[in-house]
Structure 1
Amino acid sequence: MPTTLLERPAAPSALVAPRRKTRVLALTEARWALAALLLFAIALPLQLAGVTAWAWGPLYALCYAAGGWEPGWAGLTALREKTLDVDLLMIVAALGAAAIGQVLDGALLIVIFATSGALEALATARTADSVRGLLDLAPSTATRLLDDGTEATVATELLTVGDTVLVRPGERVGADGRVLDGASEVDQATITGEPLPVAKQEGDEVFAGTLNGAGALRVRVERGASDSVIARIVAMVEEASETKAPTQLFIEKVEQRYSLGMVTATLLVFAIPLAFGAALSGSLLRAMTFMIVASPCAVVLATMPPLLSAIANAGRHGVLVKSAVVMEQLGGTKAVALDKTGTLTEGTPRVADLRPLAGSGLTEDRLLALTAAAEHPSEHPLARAVVDAAHARGTALAVAEEFVSTPGVGVTAVVEGRKVTVGAPARLLERGRGAAETSAVAIADELEDAGRTAVVVLRDGTPVGVLGIADRLRPDAAETVARLGALTGRTPILLTGDNPRAAARLAAEVGITDVRAGLLPQDKVAAVTEQERAGRRTMVVGDGVNDAPALAAAHTGIAMGRAGSDLALETADAVVVRDELATVPTVIALSRRARRLVVQNLVIASVFITGLVVWDLVGHLPLPLGVLGHEGSTVIVGLNGLRLLRDAAWRRAGADTAAAR
């Protein structure tokens, strides 16, 4: 397994510095947006019911103020820097609509912009908090062993290379280092994603933040706190989030040019007739009509309703897409990289094979009962898998006596008067010792070649059987891989920190040919970057802390919701809430349908805007007719986008993935 880290050291202050200001500003922006939405929701029914304008007019005014001050301020700030952006343009268009009596349209535009801006700010703040919260995985203190043999509890950031620390059973490792003495099993799923604890003994590497098992370890520190693997994960997520090229919606891509063009054209429409002797009121009315019909309201609604409708539809079917930009990006996926444990698999070990040895006199059920009885007092994940399998078969378990757990080896107990030992074949079997040992070794090798974790069972020192433990493949994994390959034109890549044999076996089962195993987080990022540099917009699907940097670096990242780590859930652009892997290709297809509707709407909006502008410039477009045409186009594109709200749209997206195969 690769152990090299990125060379650039991370500054500790940069990793732990709080972002309270960002969070407070995001919450404030969200409150103003919510206030604008509530005011709009109260005023609209009153207006539609024909209530006097004195009742709903002030509500709309407050809606304008609540939702418009932040984008208005942002627009003025940009203006001071000699740039025009769509925020200011939207505020001007909203005020222009209100000035000619179209208060409802202006308020709707304000609410859309305020809400989308608040959601983006909240997502940014929560991700920053989650990234820094990852450092809590590493303990704040460690037990340092001094030269005179005494112990001292010190802050982990004060540990230096060469220090020796004691890691007691159940503690988290305080620093990256190498085992000097002791044996234990360490759960390092947060770093490598491996589903089972890894046996550690003298000479093995351990990582800060990983959880020690039942044994005690003396560890020599090899990296400082700011350069540990866990700190590098934080740094990589932050760096990827900051340097990832932003993908914007269509209106945002052209906002500067459109804004300048519209303002310039409006001034010309007003000034040129005036210079040739036209009346002030007529020139002003023509300019106002031009500003209304040329305003990008229909373009904004051409983009947002299809994407928001797709988000709502995906949410009803268990996929949380965090923004309209993400929904647009999903459809551009050209390659997919999948994690193994917890993504293609359920992340829970189970008994897959029961192999009693010839001459042992045991059946499969009896072998399972004997093993489960000995393992019952243990809290090891493998032991839980064996006991759960026995319970699932309704097997009654005998009481285990004189239970002893030996870290890195296995457990021993007296069951029904006989000594039973369960553990790793490499520690309990001697090759060539006897027929039973030879048979057990052969079966263990066969199971491990098949991607299983082999567990040997000895009774009174003689092997009597071997169990194969495996992570359960998700039922829809193979079908999902096939559909993703059909949608993107290339088979997904498997990126995993698990061992190469287990990864290759699972990849063969689901139809993946490109397997990258034994990866640390930075290796996954490198694999994703390689795809991006080749011009392939890559989607990463994962669930663990170790997947977070790759999720952040990818064009889009999707996290599995049920077992996903907090960091993965916050870093990802979308979350599969119910862990239904088959929804991933469907949401890609739904995004592509939304993108097609956006293009349709942009064509409709462009035709209306162009026609009305030409009419206003060449002829005489009455203001009411201009408003009617402008609002009519807005309604048409809005209703067209809402088509994706129906369940039928999700079913058709699913059919698209099947048809692509």
Structure 2
Amino acid sequence: MWSLPEVRWAATATVLFAAGGILHLAGAPSWSWWGLYLACYAAGGWEPGLSGLRALRDRTLDVDLLMVVAAIGAAAIGQVFDGALLIVIFATSGALEALATKRTEDAVRGLLDLAPEQATRLGEHGEDRVPAADLAVGETILVRPGERIGADGQVIAGASAVDQAGITGESVPADKAVGDEVFAGTLNGSGVLRVRVTRPAAETVIARIVAMVREATATKAGTQLFIEKVEQRYSVVMVAATVALFAVPLLWGVPLQEALLRAMTFMIVASPCAVVLATMPPLLAAIANAGRHGVLVKSAVAMEQLGSVTQVAFDKTGTLTEGRPHVTGVHVLPGAGLDERRLLALAASAEQGSEHPLGRAVVRAARAAGLPPGQAVAFGSRPGLGVRARVEGRLVEVGSPAHLLDAGDEAAARLVDDLQRGGHTAVVTRVDGTTAGVLALADRMRPGAAEAVARLTTLTGTTPVLLTGDNPRAAHRLAGQAGITDVRAGLLPAGKVAAVRELQADGARVALVGDGVNDAPALAGAHAGIAMGRTGSDLALDTADAVITRDELSAVPAVLALARRARRLVVANLVIAFTFIAVLVAWDLFGDLPLPLGVAGHEGSTVIVGLNGLRLLRGAAWRRAAGASSV
């Protein structure tokens, strides 16, 4: 953070301003606090001033230059505190923007680390370790257990379970065999794979994710606060009016000091200090309040965007769900001679030596049911197929239906088909060569997910959408439990981006809630991105506009309701600020506004809008937002 010059200068300006304020209030000699305030001007104002001059060279009047000129004008008539405060506000805003930009860039660069730097290439002379970037289409690579796959390609030999949640969002590792597609950066399980490269390094799925995130982030970087959208016209009018108010009276013979005083008074009362504070305090107070309740909103722009959301889209795995499989049912086949507890205990005993996520889920379920796994001997594992072991003298096999079901197991086949149609993963258990039962596994929905969906439907007037890379059956099963009817499944990262753009094309302001690397491009491209903090990938956390640090889905409707209230306060504050400005400017132009009264009116409006915005700091504001999201 401190490596950024914007952060260092903003911190220096803030310290100098605080020191000057302390001396000012303590009654120290005026030269001491004046010196500190002017040093604050230099530290925080040189960069925006230089930026404004560059913009002026391009015939654009930048609001940064206007703020610096207004600050200098305030100092010229003795109101150096006002000018220093304005400098601090703008320097801090610029530092936060630079910090957010750097974090996103670092996260995008870190994403490339998912793809290994080297791969094992197979050639005429055996194995050869080469840079993954040098792999050519058609070459063959060897992927050992536990290694990350070095290229997008097709399996030509071997079988294994591959964890590709970062690419597709699937909660369960995908079984890969000859003919299946694999992706660079995904993690191989316990099998050995030979993969024929089908895409060069620059065109892999992971590389395209990087490109999409960069493109979407660059597009969103142009987003500005509402008040900044009118800055150009306001700047031109204010500067032109100040110059005219100084020059025209001089031409009519008005003394220089009188003309300068009126022009400076106009600059003070017309300067947008109250307008700036009308916008920032409500948004910053909402950010602080949300932070205390487990939601990190990264900027005032992000908070404003959250306040205008009209459609919410959810990722499934790790967002609406916990992101890992659980045993949801134990089904014993007729004639097996076992009950459900005995079947689960035998399966868990056989699986206790397995590293597969499904096997670990079976063991967890047995322990949760008070059935600690028994001793297993002669354990064996076949990647992508299952395990076998002797438990209490009986041969127990646990694995995929394709491997363990025989042609005559019609009852078991029907049961497997019914479970898979319901969106479950089916695991077959055989005992002494006979099919004994089937275990049903599925990802578990997060507590409060259905309630959060209902609250969002009430708040936005539209039912949330589910966007997932998982299979349609599992997606529809989960969506039905959560109360979501619009389901778009089987989506790769580009598909999620396309779905978000489709919703936006219909006029929706979309907030995407996700957690994985595969969600990052859509998080960046959405009107507002919200990431789950505990399970979220680094890229998702840095790309999102807000992070739910406690992974409580109830915080999503609450923060959207709080953001909407902040936007309403911004509008109210702008009305107050512009009313004060209009009255004071009219008085100065058409009457004789005393400078002390003009300063008092200007400062009064600033204090009013500032205090009004800070109301959102109170805990009651969050409770009200949480309540508003549920009615």
Classify the TM-score, shorter chain: over 0.9
Partner of 2:88: 111
Paired residues of 2:459 and 2:630 also in contact (CA < 8 A): no
Partner of 1:271: 247
Listed one character per residue, the Cα deviations across residues 490-512 of structure 1 (whole Å, up to 9, x for unaligned) are 21111100001000111111111
Partner of 1:225: 201
Partner of 1:96: 73
Corresponding letter in the other structure for 1:116: S
C-alpha separation in 2, matches of 1:592 and 1:406: 54
For residue 232 of structure 2, the aligned residue among 248, 256, 281 is 256
For residue 430 of structure 1, the aligned residue among 394, 406, 415 is 406
Question: Are 1:155 and 2:124 an aligned pair?
Answer: no
Paired residues of 1:306 and 1:641 also in contact (CA < 8 A): yes
Question: Are 1:293 and 2:269 an aligned pair?
Answer: yes
Question: Are 1:530 and 2:496 an aligned pair?
Answer: no
Matches within 5 A, 1:226-245: 226-244=202-220
C-alpha separation in 1, matches of 2:226 and 2:598: 24
Q: What secondary structure is seen at the aligned counterpart in 1 of 2:87? A: helix
Query: Residue 325 of structure 1: CA displacement?
Result: 0.6
Listed one character per residue, the Cα deviations across residues 98-153 of structure 1 (whole Å, up to 9, x for unaligned) are 2222222222111111111101011111101111211111111111111x351111
For residue 133 of structure 1, the aligned residue among 110, 131, 134 is 110
Listed one character per residue, the Cα deviations across residues 18-74 of structure 1 (whole Å, up to 9, x for unaligned) are xxxxx99x7111011111122223332332233333443332222222111111111
Partner of 1:458: 430
Listed one character per residue, the Cα deviations across residues 201-239 of structure 1 (whole Å, up to 9, x for unaligned) are 111111111111111111111100000000000011111
- Runs of 5+ consecutive residues of structure 2 not aligned to the other structure: none
Provide runs of 4+ in structure 1 moved above 4 Å. none
C-alpha separation in 2, matches of 1:52 and 1:284: 27
Question: Are 1:175 and 2:147 an aligned pair?
Answer: no
C-alpha separation in 2, matches of 1:250 and 1:170: 50
Partner of 2:355: 379
C-alpha separation in 2, matches of 1:582 and 1:302: 29
Q: What secondary structure is seen at the aligned counterpart in 1 of 2:630? A: helix
Matches within 5 A, 1:491-506: 491-506=463-478
Paired residues of 1:540 and 1:554 also in contact (CA < 8 A): yes
Q: What secondary structure is seen at the aligned counterpart in 2 of 1:232? A: helix
Question: Are 1:447 and 2:419 an aligned pair?
Answer: yes
Question: Are 1:80 and 2:57 an aligned pair?
Answer: yes
Corresponding letter in the other structure for 1:37: T
C-alpha separation in 2, matches of 1:203 and 1:250: 53
C-alpha separation in 2, matches of 1:59 and 1:182: 71
Paired residues of 1:521 and 1:547 also in contact (CA < 8 A): yes
Structure 1 residues 387-396 or 319-328, which shifts more?
Answer: 387-396
Corresponding letter in the other structure for 2:233: R
Q: What secondary structure is seen at the aligned counterpart in 2 of 1:359? A: coil
Q: What secondary structure is seen at the aligned counterpart in 1 of 2:4? A: helix
For residue 26 of structure 2, the aligned residue among 24, 49, 58 is 49
Matched positions, count: 631
C-alpha separation in 2, matches of 1:97 and 1:419: 88
Q: What secondary structure is seen at the aligned counterpart in 2 of 1:658? A: coil
Structure 1 residues 465-474 or 44-53, which shifts more?
Answer: 44-53
For residue 186 of structure 2, the aligned residue among 176, 187, 210 is 210
Question: Are 1:582 and 2:554 an aligned pair?
Answer: yes
C-alpha separation in 2, matches of 1:397 and 1:526: 47
Question: Are 1:389 and 2:365 an aligned pair?
Answer: yes
For residue 569 of structure 2, the aligned residue among 594, 597, 606 is 597
Matches within 5 A, 1:276-425: 276-425=252-401
Q: What secondary structure is seen at the aligned counterpart in 1 of 2:172? A: coil
Query: Residue 607 of structure 1: CA displacement?
Result: 0.8
Matches within 5 A, 1:558-573: 558-573=530-545
Corresponding letter in the other structure for 2:488: R
Structure 1 residues 626-635 or 414-423, which shifts more?
Answer: 414-423
Question: Are 1:617 and 2:589 an aligned pair?
Answer: yes
Q: What secondary structure is seen at the aligned counterpart in 2 of 1:238? A: helix
Query: Residue 167 of structure 1: CA displacement?
Result: 1.0
Listed one character per residue, the Cα deviations across residues 265-296 of structure 1 (whole Å, up to 9, x for unaligned) are 00111111111111111111101100100000
Partner of 1:549: 521
For residue 38 of structure 2, the aligned residue among 44, 55, 61 is 61
Paired residues of 1:247 and 1:329 also in contact (CA < 8 A): no
C-alpha separation in 2, matches of 1:250 and 1:50: 39
TM-score by length of 2: 0.98
Listed one character per residue, the Cα deviations across residues 443-466 of structure 1 (whole Å, up to 9, x for unaligned) are 222222221111111111111221
Q: What secondary structure is seen at the aligned counterpart in 2 of 1:624? A: helix
Partner of 2:481: 509
Listed one character per residue, the Cα deviations across residues 171-218 of structure 1 (whole Å, up to 9, x for unaligned) are 111111111111111111111000111111111111111111111111
Q: What secondary structure is seen at the aligned counterpart in 2 of 1:414? A: strand
C-alpha separation in 1, matches of 2:575 and 2:404: 72
Corresponding letter in the other structure for 2:100: A
Query: Residue 157 of structure 1: CA displacement?
Result: 1.0
Corresponding letter in the other structure for 2:57: R
Listed one character per residue, the Cα deviations across residues 329-374 of structure 1 (whole Å, up to 9, x for unaligned) are 1111121111000011010211111122233232322222211111
C-alpha separation in 2, matches of 1:362 and 1:499: 32
Query: Residue 396 of structure 1: CA displacement?
Result: 2.6
Query: Residue 165 of structure 1: CA displacement?
Result: 1.0
C-alpha separation in 2, matches of 1:99 and 1:356: 87
C-alpha separation in 1, matches of 2:70 and 2:163: 58
Q: What secondary structure is seen at the aligned counterpart in 2 of 1:313? A: helix
Partner of 1:16: none
Structure 1 residues 72-81 or 545-554, which shifts more?
Answer: 72-81
The alignment's C-alpha RMSD in Å is 1.4
Question: Are 1:70 and 2:47 an aligned pair?
Answer: yes
Paired residues of 1:262 and 1:291 also in contact (CA < 8 A): yes
Listed one character per residue, the Cα deviations across residues 408-457 of structure 1 (whole Å, up to 9, x for unaligned) are 110111111111111111211023x1xxx333222222222221111111
Corresponding letter in the other structure for 1:47: H
Q: What secondary structure is seen at the aligned counterpart in 2 of 1:621? A: coil
Q: What secondary structure is seen at the aligned counterpart in 2 of 1:293? A: helix
Query: Residue 92 of structure 1: CA displacement?
Result: 1.2
Partner of 1:9: none
Q: What secondary structure is seen at the aligned counterpart in 2 of 1:175? A: coil
Query: Residue 391 of structure 1: CA displacement?
Result: 2.1
C-alpha separation in 2, matches of 1:388 and 1:39: 58
C-alpha separation in 1, matches of 2:504 and 2:513: 15
Partner of 1:7: none
Q: What secondary structure is seen at the aligned counterpart in 2 of 1:254? A: helix
